[in-house]
Amino acid sequence: MLTQSTLNYIWIAIAVVTFFYLLFFKTAPYGRHSSDNWGPTISNRLGWFLMELPALALFLFFFAKNLEYTNQVLVLFVVFWCIHYVNRAIIFPLRIKTSGKRMPIVVMLSAIVFNTINTYFIGSFLASHPELYPQSWLYSWQFLLGFVLFAVGYFINQYSDYLLINLRSDGETNYKIPNGFLFKWISCPNLFGELVEWLGFAVMTWCLPGFTFFIWTFANLVPRAISHHKWYLNKFGNYPKDRKAIIPFLF
């Protein structure tokens, strides 16, 4: 029978394949890249809620199941995870101002599978290994560096989303060129912030499932940011040519 570590490595290999597929062959068809060729659709807001909810619910389930073993460090991990996913599953869908936008159900279902598998790996590992995280872990370089990265990434993600959402008035669906903040250097600072955030969580937890989740985040977000960047360049003739896609000054 395959061990959880082996399954993690298999899941990483799938992430690598997914990265190249999304980079060179197919952009995930939702948001500005939405397509009518992917079958039945669902409300954008409801789709976001349903596809992000498993990550929140399943993570909490693992810790509730092992509550007697939960320590102070693990409680903080739960809080950080919930800060992200309460926003992503509940607050963010309510904040977006587009009306009538839809996403393919197949995209929602694939995201549910993605979130369920990743949350299973990291949630079950953390909840089952409290001995790896004594209170002294709070003073380790991994926790301190990881916390700083997580907090900075979360701020970048949230503020960038705020700027993007407020480009539109209520009910508007048209796209505009975002400016200010990190948009001066990259097209997708919201995605860059999420990368930094989950790199921080991986460093903070310092475990294979944590880094597996970061690798999957990279595999999904970097190709999407590059697709966004190309879309901006094609749509707007006056789009700043010196901006990169997702990593300032690099790509």
- CA-CA distances (angstroms) from residue 196 to 86, 107, 146, 206? 18, 24, 9, 15
Cα atoms found within 13 Å of the Cα of residue 11, Cβ hemisphere only: 27
Which range has the worst mean pLDDT, 9-23, 26-40, 101-115?
26-40
Which range has the worst mean pLDDT, 17-31, 41-55, 57-71, 201-215?
17-31
Residue 42 is predicted with a pLDDT of: 87
Which range has the worst mean pLDDT, 127-136, 167-176, 190-199, 229-238?
167-176
Contacts of 182 (CB under 8 A, 6+ apart): 156, 160, 189, 192, 248
pLDDT tens figures, 156-214: 999 999 999 888 776 666 788 899 899 999 999 999 999 999 999 999 999 999 999 99
Asked if 183 and 136 count as a contact pair (C-beta separation under 8 A), the reply is no
Mean pLDDT of 216-226: 94
Burial of 102 (0-12, 13-18, 19+ CB in 10 A): middle
For residue 73, pLDDT over 90 is answered with yes
For residue 66, pLDDT over 80 is answered with no
Adjacent-strand bridge partners of 43: 102
**All structural domains of the chain with their residue ranges:** 12-235
pLDDT bracket for residue 64 (50, 70, 90):
confident
Letter for the amino acid at 117?
I
Q: Which residue has the higher pLDDT, 55 or 71?
A: 55
